Amino acid sequence: MKKLPIWIITVLLALGILTTWMGWIDRGEVGYLPFALGILWILFALAAAPRMFADD
């Protein structure tokens, strides 16, 4: 697997944080699904983060 650019991980983390934040604010109207998806998005970004420092 190739090295991932830093901007991709940054965008993934920003989207996850925004989704989690807005999901928490709107949990009374839309439920907890957006909040849970934001958490999963953050975990996905953190799992991909070590590929920024790959030696490929």
Does residue 39 lie in a domain region? yes
Is position 17 within any domain? yes
| Number of domains observed in the structure of the chain | 1
Structure tokens at 43: 């975990």
Dmax (CA) of the chain: 46
Q: Which residue range(s) make up the domain with 11?
A: 6-50
DSSP state of 3: P
Residue 1: inside a domain: no
Q: Please report the pLDDT score of residue 43 as a whole number.
A: 94
Distance CA 35, CA 8 (A): 21
pLDDT for residue 1 is more than 70: no
pLDDT in tens, 8-48: 889 999 999 999 999 999 999 999 999 999 999 999 999 98
Q: What is the pLDDT of residue 19?
A: 94
Which pair of structure tokens corresponds to residue 7?
A: 């901007």
Does residue 21 form part of some domain? yes
pLDDT at 21: 95
Q: Is the whole model's pTM more than 0.85, yes or no?
A: no
- 55 belongs to a structural domain: no
